[in-house]
Structure 1
């Protein structure tokens, strides 16, 4: 076999290999995307009881990109509805803890009550503030059922700051940051309920 023939065969084999790889990736892409959506859906929607909504909240984003609040920033949000009626909003909030940014998911029902809070990302001290990422999280569950006025504004603080909430042991800064971010989200919901869920709760 001549050198030219060998080169041609190698090029053909290489071309076939590249084509096969592309076809495998192309045919796998929908499955990969579907799996990623499933993971995202699980991570973002497990705060909501299944009987609370019947839509696809992740397909109903709220336009909140980088909305700066007093102690935090709203990165994004989603609307959950049932039978065509708003049921809850999911707000992705970012605040600054002891070691860096903490991303929270805050679920608020249509009446302004907290359905739950979950940590999506954090870089706090292992064994201390990093416990904010535990799931389920007993400390975060203590906020469920609270609202902007329950407790009153002065109560949205640590007990050591004359507020109503305990702190994560050894993680005062982390605890303060999370409490302030949750309070920010509730205040934002109260002030913008018409834009978020299409009705004014104070009417």
Structure 2
């Protein structure tokens, strides 16, 4: 066999292999996307009451907030009805970036919050990751309707909320990010949910 024929055969086999690889990727893409969505939904459910939810991604306007940056959002549905919004927010903690998920009910109340990542000092600011702590529990059910904006501060700053012992900066950062998320929800509820404020 001459070199020209060998080159053509090699080129054809390479093209066939590339084509089959592309076709396999295209067929696997829906499964990969479904798996990603399942993982994302599981993460979103961690800040909501137990139940069956469907999520829809949200487009966020003016993502930069006074103390944080809104990274993403999802509208949570039960039986086709909007029941909550989950916002992912990023702020600056003591040790570095602090990312939180914030679940907000249609009445503007905090359903739950969970740190996704942090760079806080072990034994101090890292306590922010302890979901069972009283610090997180003091925030549940709070809203801007029953706690004026001036109260959304730590007690040592003249507000109503305790801090995590030894982690004032981390506590302040998380509290400010949650307050930003609640404010954003209140100001954009109609766009986020298709409903007017606290319907």
TM-score, normalising length: structure 1: 0.78
Task: Give the equivalent residue in structure 2 for 1:182.
Answer: 178
The C-alpha deviation readout for 1:14-60, integer Å capped at 9, x for no partner, is: 22322222222222111111111111111123322343x65x3225x
Contact 1:65–1:76 under 8 Å retained in 2: no
Q: Which runs of 5+ in 1 are unaligned?
A: none
Q: Which moved more, 1:182-191 or 1:101-110?
A: 182-191
Deviation at 1:116, TM superposition (A): 0.2
Deviation at 1:178, TM superposition (A): 0.7
Alignment RMSD, CA only? 2.9
Instruction: Please point out which of 153, 163, 179 is paired with 1:157.
Output: 153
Give the length in aligned residue pairs.
197
1:8-87 mapped onto 2 (5 Å cutoff): 8-51=8-51, 54=53, 56-59=54-57, 61=58, 63-87=59-83
Is 1:145 paired with 2:126? Answer: no
- Residues 12/200 of structure 1: CA separation in 2 closer, same or farther (3 Å cut): closer
Contact 1:65–1:75 under 8 Å retained in 2: no
Task: Give the equivalent residue in structure 2 for 1:90.
Answer: 86
Instruction: Please point out which of 78, 96, 105 is paired with 1:109.
Output: 105
Deviation at 1:154, TM superposition (A): 4.5
Contact 2:46–2:114 under 8 Å retained in 1: no
Deviation at 1:115, TM superposition (A): 0.4
Tell me the secondary structure at the aligned position of residue 163 of structure 2: coil
TM-score, normalising length: structure 2: 0.79
Q: Which runs of 5+ in 2 are unaligned?
A: none
Tell me the secondary structure at the aligned position of residue 146 of structure 1: coil
Contact 2:90–2:177 under 8 Å retained in 1: yes
